Amino acid sequence: MKKFRIILLLSLIPMLSFGQLYTRKEIKIPDIPGYLTLKCDLHMHTIFSDGNVWPTVRADEAWREGLDVFAISDHVEYQPHHKDVTTGIGRSYEIAKPRADELGLMIIKAAEITRDMPPGHFNVLFLDSISALDKDDFWEAIQAAVDQDAFIFWNHPGWRQPDEIPIWYDEHTRLFDEGNMHGMEIVNERSYYPLAHQWCLERNITMLGNSDIHDPTGMFVDFAAGQHRAITLVFAEKFTEESVKKALEKGRTAVYYNDMLIGNQEFLKPIFEKSVFIASRSVKLGPGETFNLQVTNHSDVPFMLEAAEGEKDIFYQDNVTLYPGRTSIIRIRSKKIAEPGIHTYTLQYVVSNLLVGVETGLPVELKFKAEITE
């Protein structure tokens, strides 16, 4: 019996050590009304193109870093490891899929069409056949993607351009006019392209931000310093491939890049509102007195507030950073002329690191009740 118990205990060891080695760090960015906020990286490579990791590692990394959805997008036309890895493109998805399933992650079948600029590189998502994209002619490759009802986006439009400023060529006009430029990376790896951001806003193109990681993510991102890889937030009705596809097609995305969120106001505003709470239980102060208003930020994103318009009865601090996972203080002072009684005040700020346009921060309001005493 004792021997049996020892054997039983020993048999548990691999399982226990697995549990200790693997922990997931959730990305704390809340869901918004009507939609799940899915954390997605839709551009990365493995040894099946010019990456340096085995496909299952991409699933492990995605899980550990708090992602919900990922796409391995190996180059269709470029496989420098082909002498060692001979089974070809598309195999990376097949190898990573069981691992993704085991971890409860969604993996989207994808590839990168890789041509010199113009037209440049394009990621294609929701494929049935990757090999169908293997055409000499770029337009035939795009047609093969269109035939599969794929989602097509322009990758790193500023890459290898002077000062990383993207150039819109005739090829892009054709793609766009034919309805085949569904999205664009406004962030790739460590680069943000403001001009691409502008194009997405003007032409209603879905905004994406992805890691385009080739090495193990730990070689590229300093997790200990609180860094994270660039990702796309997808606002989906459900955790299904169909819902993710619909959200991408409808432009329901935002980009999480360094300490910034970039996206439309309709998505960034509810993220802010669901993250930030007034922590002070009651606010009481006499005319001309100051008060420390305590405000908690439950998200992983710092919010850098710059005062917009003033409140007529109170003064309040111009610049405040609401640090992630912490409670910060906003100094307020009632004006000498403030009327005694209970009032609702609205502090108006612009969040400078939540970009709703190029160099345009998100306007927000913080409301609280205060009693002005005699």
155, 191, 253, 334: which one binds Zn ion (CB under 5 A): 155
Integer CA distances (angstroms), 108 to 100, 120, 182, 220, in order? 10, 22, 16, 23
C-alpha 169/C-alpha 116 separation (Å) is 12
CB of residue 159 to Zn ion, shortest distance in Å: 7
Residue nearest to Zn ion (CB): 121
Q: What is the DSSP string of 34-58?
A: TBEEEEEE--B--TTTT-SS-HHHH
Stretch that binds Zn ion, among 207-215, 283-291, 293-301, 334-342 (CB under 5 A): 207-215
Which amino acid type is present at position 9? Answer: L
C-alpha 53/C-alpha 204 separation (Å) is 35
CB of residue 248 to Zn ion, shortest distance in Å: 18
By beta-carbon proximity to Zn ion, the closer residue of 46 and 243 is: 46
CB of residue 346 to Zn ion, shortest distance in Å: 45
By beta-carbon proximity to Zn ion, the closer residue of 65 and 112 is: 112
What are 239's two structure tokens? 């955790």
C-alpha 244/C-alpha 250 separation (Å) is 10
5-64 positions binding Zn ion, by CB under 5 A: none
DSSP state of 218: G
x/- contact string, 111-130, with Zn ion (CB under 5 A)?
-x--------x---------
What are 50's two structure tokens? 């010019």
By beta-carbon proximity to Zn ion, the closer residue of 208 and 366 is: 208
DSSP state of 185: E
Stretch that binds Zn ion, among 105-113, 176-184, 230-238, 276-284 (CB under 5 A): 105-113
Under the criterion CB under 5 A, does residue 229 sit at the interface with Zn ion?
Answer: no
- C-alpha 120 chain-centroid distance: 23
- For Zn ion, how many residues bind (rule: CB under 5 A)? 4
What are 279's two structure tokens? 């922590």
SS3 call for 191: strand
CB of residue 209 to Zn ion, shortest distance in Å: 13
Under the criterion CB under 5 A, does residue 212 sit at the interface with Zn ion?
Answer: yes
What is the binding site for Zn ion (CB under 5 A)? 112, 121, 155, 212
